[in-house]
C-alpha cells in the first residue's frame, strides 16, 4: 500500500483526521529554530501557544524563547532566530518556546494526530526518514496571518520530494501542489515570501538564509507528550 500524504496549507482550514503522523512546518522561522535548539544540545523543548503559558512553564529555570510579530519578547532569554540558536551551547537545558504561528500550528496538529514532528528545509531529509515509518502523514503549514504562506508550502514540497524517494506515495491535491512548488531554488523562494520581507524592518533578514539551507541538520524534533497546556519535544536523529 502506498504511503498516504496530505497537506493542510492554510491555517484557516480545519485539519483532517485519521493520519498516523503529522509534520508541522513553519520554515521562517519556528520549526527551523526548534531544530537548531535541539541540535545545540537542549534536552527538551516545550511549545506553548500563549506567552503567559510559556512564562509559567519556564518558572523552574528553563530558558524562554519566542516572538510576536517577529520581534523577540520582552523578558525572554532568546528570540526565534535560527542564527542565534546555531551559536548556542544548550547542553542539557530545557527551552520553552512560543511564537506567532508555529507553536499554534503544532498544538492544532497534536489535536488530530498521535505523532507530531517539526519539519523545515534544514532537516528535510531527516523528517522524510522519520515520516516513512508511518502509513499516512499530514503536513501542516503554519501559514502567515491566517493565510497560505509561500515559504511553508515550498518547504512542505521539499520534504514530500524527499519522501517520494523513499517510498511509494499517494498524494492529495494540496500535497501535489506543494510538491510542484518545490522545484524552484530555496533561497529565491524564501526571499520572495511575505515572512522574509517582514523580517527586514526588524533587522532579522539574515535569518532567512539559514532557513533556506537544505539538510543542514539530521535532528528531528519529535513530540513526546504534553505538559500543562504545552507540547514536549525531544530531538531524534534520522
pLDDT of residue 59: 86
Average pLDDT over residues 200-218: 96
Average pLDDT over residues 26-37: 98
pLDDT of residue 89: 96
Q: Give the pLDDT band of residue 60 (cuts 50, 70, 90).
A: confident
Nearest alpha carbon to residue 137 among 103, 161, 169 = 169
For residue range 110-119, what is the model confidence (pLDDT) as tens digits? 999 999 999 9
For residue range 91-109, what is the model confidence (pLDDT) as tens digits? 999 999 999 999 999 999 9
> How many Å apart are CA 32 and CA 232, to the nearest integer?
16
Domain 3-237 has CATH 3.90.1200.10: no
Average pLDDT over residues 127-150: 97
Domain range list for the chain: 3-237
Average pLDDT over residues 27-32: 97
Amino acid at each position: 500500500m502506498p504511503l498516504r500524504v496530505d497537506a493542510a496549507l492554510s491555517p484557516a482550514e480545519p485539519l483532517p483526521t485519521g493520519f498516523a503522523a503529522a509534520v508541522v512546518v513553519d520554515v521562517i522561522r519556528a520549526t527551523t529554530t526548534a531544530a537548531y535548539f535541539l541540535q545545540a544540545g537542549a534536552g527538551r523543548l516545550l511549545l506553548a501557544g500563549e506567552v503567559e503559558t510559556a512564562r509559567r512553564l519556564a518558572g523552574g529555570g528553563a530558558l524562554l524563547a519566542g516572538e510576536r510579530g517577529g520581534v523577540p519578547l520582552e523578558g525572554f532569554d532568546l528570540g526565534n532566530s535560527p542564527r542565534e540558536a546555531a551559536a548556542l551551547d544548550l547542553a542539557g537545558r530545557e527551552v520553552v518556546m512560543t511564537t506567532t504561528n508555529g507553536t499554534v500550528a503544532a498544538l492544532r496538529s497534536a489535536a488530530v494526530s498521535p505523532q507530531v514532528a517539526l519539519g523545515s528545509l534544514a532537516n528535510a531529509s531527516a523528517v522524510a526518514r522519520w515520516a516513512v515509518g508511518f502509513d499516512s502523514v499530514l503536513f501542516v503549514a503554519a501559514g502567515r496571518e491566517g493565510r497560505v504562506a509561500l515559504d511553508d508550502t515550498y518547504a512542505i514540497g521539499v520534504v514530500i520530494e524527499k519522501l517520494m524517494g523513499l517510498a511509494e506515495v499517494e498524494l492529495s491535491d494540496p500535497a501535489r501542489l506543494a510538491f510542484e512548488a518545490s522545484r524552484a531554488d530555496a533561497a529565491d523562494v524564501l526571499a520572495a515570501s511575505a515572512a522574509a520581507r517582514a523580517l527586514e524592518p526588524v533587522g532579522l533578514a539574515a535569518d532567512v538564509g539559514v532557513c533556506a539551507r537544505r539538510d543542514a541538520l539530521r535532528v528531528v524534533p519529535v513530540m513526546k507528550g504534553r505538559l500543562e497546556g504545552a507540547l514536549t519535544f525531544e530531538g531524534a536523529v534520522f
